[in-house]
Amino acid sequence: MKKILTQVETNIPPDFDPEVYLSLHEDVKNAGVDPTTHYLTYGRNEGRKYKVEKPKTFEESLADFLTVPPSDQNAFDLFPTAWSSAFEGVQTSGTFKGYDDARLKWLLHRLDLSNKTVLELGPLEAAHTFMLEKAGADVLAVESNKGAFLRCLITKNYLNLSAKFLLGDFEKMDLTDRHFDLVLASGVLYHMKDPVKLLESISKASDRLFIWTHYFEPDLSKWNPVLAPLLNDRKWHHHEPVVTHYDGLTIRLVKQNYGEALGWSGFCGGSDVFSNWIYREDLLALLRKLGFKTIGISFDDIQHQNGPAFCLLCEK
């Protein structure tokens, strides 16, 4: 038996590791058989794995070639499960029709953006960028999530957008000498660890803000009942609000944990494992303190499936 094994062992892959083979196949390990003998006799013919494949690096995956006919769909298929947005003419894993968003229509009905400059924070997949540009705006969009940034470029190519997309943390963006006709932060504020700091920064860069955000409502009986298990499971630390101050104003924040959402390939939340939601009335008071005299409110949905939310158009 030893002589036969020695003759055939030359067929063993050079990177074969008996211990790894046993760890991959519990039945072989439990049977107490020699892993090398088992692989040569049975495993190879059965197509059993004998090593743990190292995932390709980002750059290695970009070195791959497609051998199918060119199409717009191919680019969208680079992210088979990560899309949040849906687009006409191509298939994605997303369902959000951001290119026809009623919240943006509300904004555009109240504000003429023809030849206006817009700083868009967190464009996600550029669906709102499309609506802004279609309304005549010159858009600079800043996205910190690498996957979302690349999906924005795919959308830009598909929809022939002229907008400029920058990859990086807009919280660290120097806006000292920048001015825009509008700063748009849709789905951004509730992902911040320090929403007060962000609002202070962008309020200096524009006389107009458009915000769609979740906020914290302390009367939990008003929340959507589907969120009761998460409220009880301390997704929101509502028993321990954090109190901060800005120019004499008291602001209450509630920590929100992302939990299982962090495991999704399309996750585009904050850069940490948690964020802070601001109390509704405290957010409005802060915006007034920052100089916004007119605050229009719409889509105020305390029963939103993901937590209370509203739209704001703020003007100095």
- Domain limits of the chain? 2-46, 98-315
**3-class DSSP assignment, residue 241:** coil
pLDDT in the model for residue 149: 97
Average pLDDT, stretch 260-275?
73
Residue type, 230: L
Residue 61 identity: S
Q: What local confidence, expressed as pLDDT, does residue 289 receive? A: 98
Average pLDDT of 119-137?
Answer: 98
Global model pTM greater than 0.85: no
Local confidence band at 58 (pLDDT 50, 70, 90 cut-offs): confident
The stretch 120-130 carries a mean pLDDT of: 97
Average pLDDT, the chain: 92
Share of the chain above pLDDT 70, in %: 94
Query: Is domain 98-315 classified as CATH 3.40.50.150?
Result: yes
Q: State the first-to-last Cα distance of the chain, in angstroms, to the nearest integer.
A: 88
Separation of alpha carbons 77 and 91, rounded Å: 8
Tokens of 154: 């795919």
Q: Between 6 and 108, name the one with better pLDDT.
A: 108
Q: Report pLDDT for 9.
A: 53
- Give the Cα separation of 124 and 152 in Å (integer): 7
Task: Give the C-alpha separation, 153 to 141, whole Å.
Answer: 11
pLDDT of 263 reads 67
Indicate if the pLDDT at residue 91 is higher than 70.
yes
Mean pLDDT lowest among 155-169, 182-196, 258-272, 289-303 = 258-272
